[in-house]
Amino acid sequence: MQRYLARIGFEGPPSPDWDTLAGLQLAHLRSAPFENIDVVAGGSIPVDAGASVPKVADQERGGWCFELNGAFAALLEGVGFRVQRLPGLVYMGGTEASPMDDHLCLRVDLDRPWLVDVGFGDSFTQPLPLDSDEPVDDEAGGCRFRVTIDEGRGTLWSEHDESWRLDYEFALDPVQLSHFEPAAHFLSTNPDLDWSKKRFLTRLTDSGRVTLREQKLLVRTGREVEETEVESEEHWRALAREWFDHG
């Protein structure tokens, strides 16, 4: 656990309380990128903490939701938190992106239940209450978020240009990580998905977010975005090392 805490830059003794939970989520988002490098490279991506924890903590890599939230759940349990792994379904442009549960998010119970997620890219950066649908201002995330519960399912919303966007919905009954093996196979092998053929890395920064795609580096500071064209494969690799310690 200490190697994991050091890898994400979390300082001080962790304890199963709100401050530690919020601090761990923020530190994780700034350190371990949401990325699909191994998916694009091909090969099997295991859906188990035995593979994802060493990848994040020892190899200092990132990954997709099954890896990042799978590893983070193990870290939280090591600290003493009560964690449930919840299956979700991502929406893209208001429509389902997958025919099956394709997202892993976490429920952490303290004095009240919280939604936690370090594997959804540009999203909320602090735990969101599961027992309230009031909007939460997220300064680091750059907008407001809220969670609604209806008929046994939760829904994550984010506010953009004064309108609410549906990001993903999730079940309230916990599952084992093996539940996501069909979705992992679908997402990593479907040739019609950009996810499986176009590389990207993205992580939170102290002042915004940095995202490296195949042809562009995007550095967001507040509401300003600076774009850098990727000139070659060597340039891409240099940017990946500079911003993500990758390669």
**Gap between the Cα atoms of 54 and 73, Å rounded:** 13
Write the CA distances from 106 to 74, 85, 96, 202, integer angstroms.
11, 5, 20, 20
Nearest of 114, 104, 126 to residue 30 by alpha carbon: 126
Q: Catalytic residue at 103?
A: yes
Amino acid found at 226: E
**Active site residue: 65, 101, 102, 122, which one?**
65
157 and 148 Cβ atoms separated by less than 8 Å: yes
Reply yes or no on whether 105 is catalytic.
no
Mean pLDDT per block of 10 residues along the chain (247 residues) reads 95 94 98 95 87 96 97 98 96 68 96 97 96 92 93 92 91 96 89 86 96 96 93 97 92
Q: In this predicted structure, what is the pLDDT of residue 95?
A: 61
Q: How far apart are CA 94 and CA 97, in angstroms?
A: 9
Contact assessment for residue 160 and residue 176, using Cβ atoms and an 8 Å cutoff = no
pLDDT at 193: 82
Return the pLDDT at 96: 61
CB 181 within 8 A of CB 46: no
- pLDDT at res. 1: 87
The whole-angstrom separation of Cα 170 and Cα 149 is 9
Q: Which helix (H) or strand (E) holds 105?
A: strand 103-109
Per DSSP, the three-state class of 93 is coil
Longest dimension (CA), the chain: 51
Q: Is 235 a catalytic residue?
A: no
What six digits make up the tokens of 168? 């993903």
pLDDT at 142: 84
CATH 2.40.37.20 fits 2-204, yes or no: no
Say which of 117, 122, 167, 179 is annotated catalytic. Answer: 117
Catalytic choice (28, 102, 103, 179): 103
Domain ranges of the chain: 2-204, 205-247
- β partners of residue 221: 208, 224
